[in-house]
Amino acid sequence: MKRYGAEFLGTFWLVLGGCGSAVLAAAFPEVGIGLHGVSLAFGLTVLTMAFAIGHISGCHLNPAVSIGLWAGGRFPANQLLPYIVAQVLGGIVAGGVLYLIASGAAGFDVSKGFASNGFGAHSPGGYSMMAALLTEVVMTMFFLIIILGATDKRAPAGFAPIAIGLALTLIHLISIPVTNTSVNPARSTGVALYVGDWAVAQLWLFWLAPIVGAVLGAVSYRLIASEEK
């Protein structure tokens, strides 16, 4: 239960910190943090939580990461479901807290997006469904390769949180214009439920693509990292 609690709190922090930066600070008059700031915020949530709870739960904070770690032989199948439930609940509660904060400002309109992920008319850059699907698969694939490599027993000890946090920052710098960047079904679900409508209708892609990408990343890493006999 301590592990599940850690995953709940960690995913709460990721959604509140990452999506909160997008909703509250990205376009704040004159001193908005913009795309670069939002990208850094997502990376910092993972970096800080990896140091805080990595020794408790492994700091997955992401159903796709848990599934990818299982596919990579690093996580037991019998813990997948409770981890995913804890992550999704953490994301939803964080989305609710963010909604309460954001709605305290005059003119707040959740239908404008609320940091939700989308494609087509709901992509920040108007990218197609296929472009969004490919982006989310590839970005999550490389995220898993980096996670598995940075946490490999042969990697330098103690630096994994930095590598993983910077990887998530880079992923956001690349893909925010395409999908608003998911690579994390819990992050997508945590805000989409409050938008409803199109955000929920398109949510399937932000579950399917990250999971496919995570499995591909795990398989790829196992192929390149297996020790010579």
What percentage of residues in the chain have a pLDDT greater than 70?
97
pLDDT at residue 76 in the model: 95
Structure confidence at residue 28 (pLDDT): 67
Given this model, what pLDDT does residue 100 score?
Answer: 95
**Number of Cβ within a 10 Å radius of residue 58:** 22
Q: Among all chains, which residue has been given the structure tokens 């296929």?
A: 130
Report pLDDT digits (tens) over 201-224: 999 999 999 999 999 999 999 999
Mean pLDDT lowest for which of 42-46, 128-132, 213-217, 225-229? 225-229
Question: Using CA atoms, how far apart are residues 23 and 227, in angstroms rounded to an integer?
Answer: 45
Task: Answer for the pair 217, 143: CB distance below 8 angstroms, yes or no.
Answer: yes
How high is the pLDDT of residue 107? 83
In this prediction, residue 30 carries a pLDDT of 67
What pLDDT, on the 0 to 100 scale, is given for residue 29? 64
- Are 62 and 191 in contact, with CB atoms under 8 Å apart? no
Question: Would you say residue 8 has pLDDT above 90?
Answer: yes
pLDDT of the residue at 106: 83
Residue 32: the pLDDT is: 77
Convert 198-223 to b/e letters by CB count within 10 Å (16 or more is b): bbeebbebbbebbbbbbbbbbebbee
In this prediction, residue 10 carries a pLDDT of 96
Residue 111: what pLDDT?
A: 82
Cα dist. 121→113, 126, 128, 131, 138 in Å? 11, 6, 8, 13, 22
* Full-model pTM: 0.92
Tokens representing 40?
A: 């850094």
Question: Would the pLDDT of 228 be above 60?
Answer: no
d(CA 68, CA 82): 15
pLDDT for 179 beyond 90: yes
**Tens digits of residue pLDDT in 12-35:** 999 999 999 999 988 766 667 888
Task: Note the pLDDT tens digit of each residue in 101-147.
Answer: 999 988 888 888 799 999 999 999 999 999 999 999 999 999 999 99
Look at residue 31 in the predicted model and tell me its pLDDT.
Answer: 67
The pLDDT mean for the chain works out to 93
> Please, which residues have CB within 8 angstroms of residue 64's CB and are 6 or more apart in sequence?
140, 144, 183, 184, 185, 210, 211, 213, 214
Give me the CATH code for the 2-225 domain, please. 1.20.1080.10
Q: H helices within the chain, ranges in order?
A: 2-20, 34-57, 63-71, 80-102, 129-150, 160-179, 185-195, 197-201, 205-225
- Is the alpha carbon torsion for 182, 55, 87, 72 positive or negative? positive
Q: CA-CA-CA-CA torsion for 116, 118, 123, 126, nearest 10 degrees?
A: -160
3-state secondary structure of 128: coil
Nearest residue to 119 (alpha-carbon basis) of 132, 108, 110: 132
Q: pLDDT at residue 229 above 80?
A: no
